[in-house]
Amino acid sequence: MTRRVLIIGAGLTGLALANGLRCADDIEITVVEQAPVITEAGWAISLTDRHLDALRQLGLAPQELTADRLARTIMYDPNTSVPVGIAAMDGVVTTRSELQLWLWEPVGELVRTGIAPVSITDNGACVEVGFSDGTAGEFDVVVGADGINSWTRRSVFGGPDPAYAGSAVVRFQVPNAAGLHLAGMTSDGRLSLFVLNRGTVLHGVVFLPGEPDNRSDCTLTELAEDYADLSGPLAGLIKAMRTEPVGFYANINQVVTDDWAVGRIALAGDAAHAMSPRLGQGAGVGLQDAALLSELLTLPDLPVQSALAGYAGIRRPAAQLVQQRSHAATLRIGHPGSALELHTQANL
């Protein structure tokens, strides 16, 4: 019998799940996305080898994704500029828009854009969902992949709301004028750069640990003053900050919940476990959710409720471990040497 699956949200997790399910003959997929058009900002996303394995499980070929190999990261003492550590991470770094469009391509025709759910009821035999365009549908499975502020989480589980995780972050991109080929970071973990877009772009990240909105009134030039004495490869980034490239400031929030699945409804990705980007794992953990969900939902003879309960039981401890480590690492930002321990944890 055909299994009708509704995915709420065409972000990275929702699209990944649609990719995983699309090859099964007996699955009918609907994806609803509130945004009228997919126009995601292109910030850096790192994917470790485990996350790339999840893409393979979803039937995708990650070698076809436009991405740079995640280079070794040199860590510099912020006072002396001397290299004090080298972290090797296995994986790739790409942009969120690149990854989203790549995931979109095989399944875009399944996505109804500009539509959000307005009601949801699991009556045991199916889930009845009403949509913002006045239509309604019945589904055997509903997966809320609707991000950190998940409507599904609020409507089905009553929360929780996202909570501040201890730091803000500013991101910006500048041309790689000096031809840097290795990522870099201050050993206190506050300032870092990735090399992106086939070596042409530097992606800069400044973490601002402290209270919410910490230094939100500062320009990049003012933030650069903290590192005015840096020399060596990171000095180029400081110089670029003084040109005031467009910077995106955000408080870092997380969602911690044990309520991942009930009956025929489950949460996945940021909806279930939004986490600090400190360890660069959030997107990849969502891809791992999608891979397991897709495996379990396509197993013959496994009832939906058992598949979703199994998914939650297997994925939740793993995702929450990464989330706890990301949070702990966030709380250590700014302490001398905190970045040196960072990368020993990065390949969870």
Binding residues vs ligand FAD (CB under 6 A): 8-14, 32-35, 43-46, 96, 116-117, 145-147, 151, 169, 171, 250, 269-270, 277, 280-284, 286
- Minimum CB distance to ligand FAD smaller for 186 or for 281: 281
Q: Tokens representing 239? A: 């110089």
Would you give the distance in Å from CA 128 to the centre of its chain?
A: 29
Tell me the three-class secondary structure of 174-192, residue by residue: EECCCCCCCEEEECCCCEE
- Among residues 10 and 183, whose Cβ is nearest to ligand FAD? 10
Comparison of 45 and 54: residue with beta carbon closer to ligand FAD: 45
CB of 229 to ligand FAD, least distance (A): 27
List for the chain the helix, strand, coil content (%; round to 5). 35, 30, 35
In whole angstroms, how close is the CB of 38 to ligand FAD at the nearest point?
7
* Residues 88 and 198 sit within 8 Å (Cβ to Cβ): no
Quick one: 164 or 177, whose CB is closer to ligand FAD?
164
Measured between alpha carbons, how far is 284 from 270 in angstroms, rounded to an integer? 10
Compute the least distance from the CB of residue 258 to ligand FAD, in Å.
18
Q: Which is nearer to ligand FAD, 43 or 247 (CB)?
A: 43
What's the closest the beta carbon of residue 329 comes to ligand FAD, in angstroms?
Answer: 13
* Nearest distance, CB of residue 203 and ligand FAD, angstroms: 10
- DSSP characters for 190-237? SEEEEEETTTTEEEEEEEEESSTTTTTT--HHHHHGGGTT--SHHHHH
Q: Which residue is nearest to ligand FAD (CB)?
A: 11
CB of 248 to ligand FAD, least distance (A): 8
Write out the two tokens for 121: 């009821």
Nearer residue to ligand FAD within complex by CB, 151 or 311: 151
Q: Please report the beta strands in 23-72, taking only residues with DSSP state E, as ranges in sequence order.
A: 27-33, 44-48, 68-69
